[in-house]
Amino acid sequence: MSAVQVADCHNDLLMAVRHLRERGHSDPFGDFWLPQLKDGGVALQVLPVCTEEQFVGEGALRRCLLMLEEARRLAELHSDDVVIVETGAQLRQAISDGRIALLLAIEGAEPVGHSIEVLDVLWRAGVRMCSLTWNRRTMMADGVAERDTGGRLTALGAEAVRRMEQLGMVVDVSHLSEAGFFHLAEAAQRPFLASHSSCRAVSRHPRNLSDRQLETIASAGGLVALNAFGPFLSDGPAPGIEHFIDHVEHAIGVVGAGAVGLGCDFITDVTEVVDPVLTGLLTDRHTMPATRGLERPADYPDLVRAMRRRLDDATVDQVAGINLIEFLAAQLR
């Protein structure tokens, strides 16, 4: 196991856990994901709730609440090993105690719908990070799959950003259309982050961020957590761990080592168990290439070793975990 504390800003494991539990599996988190996190040296794991296609609309909030309850259930079942954190002090205490800190997040504002007050409900439920979109359009903004519209934030979206900042909820810009990104950057009064996005200058996938976007996040005091999803890393047929480190090196060159982290978005094991409509907008799940050597949390020690061959030790420690831990500890009240 790597001695480095790893912090991961995006893993959809809640979705996989929920699907397996609905099929009668009693403890999919304990049987698979917890050993993965431990083997990977993960000290902090952000757990997003994403609205799948079949729940868009009136089913979004119901599904979101069930997923949040799923997180509470697994945290209670494995309280010796993990704990849900809501403040910076709780985050630091969890790491000090040797437990994995779990942070609840919303990926795409479908559960909020047109009712800003739902953000307050989600805050009380422990959610501490939220993005306005997944790839699709919401009532607040356009996702990257709607990028041809040139849409900025809606009035509701701008109001949502203000309310999230008032609550202390970290605003996440991953998946947001480029016009929406810069509108949000103009409106934001607090640092924001990209929870799982990589670099467009290295690979031109629409989910990746331009250098200007990276610079904008960093200039606002924010952080870019890089995505290891294969199609985002390289145009070639077999992306590998070195392709991911290409993105790490590029991001560091643009914004500095202190503004880069990990949001690897390990999706292979999730798509094996969820319904097949999950990722149809931008990538065919049946043909998407996995990233060789970086497919699941247990691969993090290999990533750390590979990064040490190309980066100095202090930079590796920052990118692997310190930056994200310190950013969230400072932002969470």
Bridge partner residues of 107 (DSSP):
50
Q: Which residue has the higher pLDDT, 54 or 64?
A: 64
Domains in the chain: ranges and CATH:
6-331 (3.20.20.140)
Distance (Å) of CA 72 to CA 39, 65, 118, 195: 22, 11, 19, 22
pLDDT value for 309: 98
Strands (E), 158-295: 170-172, 193-194, 223-226, 260-262
Residues 6+ apart with CB under 8 A from 306: 241, 242, 245, 293
pLDDT score for 277? 54
Q: What angle (nearest 5°) sits at the alpha carbon of residue 176, between those of residues 108 and 269?
A: 55
- What is the distance in angstroms between the CA of the first residue and the CA of the last residue of the chain? 32
What is the torsional sign of CA 208, 46, 217, 190? Answer: positive
Single pTM value for the model? 0.95
**What is the reported pLDDT for 1?**
37
Task: Give 286's pLDDT tier (boundaries 50, 70, 90).
Answer: low
The predicted-structure confidence for 145-182, as pLDDT tens digits, reads as follows 886 777 899 999 999 999 999 999 999 999 999 999 99
Which pLDDT does position 281 carry in this prediction? Answer: 42
pLDDT per residue over 15-45, tens digit each?
999 999 999 999 999 999 999 999 999 999 9
The per-residue pLDDT for range 85-140, each reduced to its tens digit, is: 999 999 999 999 999 999 999 999 999 999 999 999 999 999 999 999 988 888 89
Which residues are CB-contacts of 321 (< 8 A; sequence separation ≥ 6)? 4, 5, 6, 7, 43, 44, 261, 262
Structure confidence at residue 2 (pLDDT) = 46
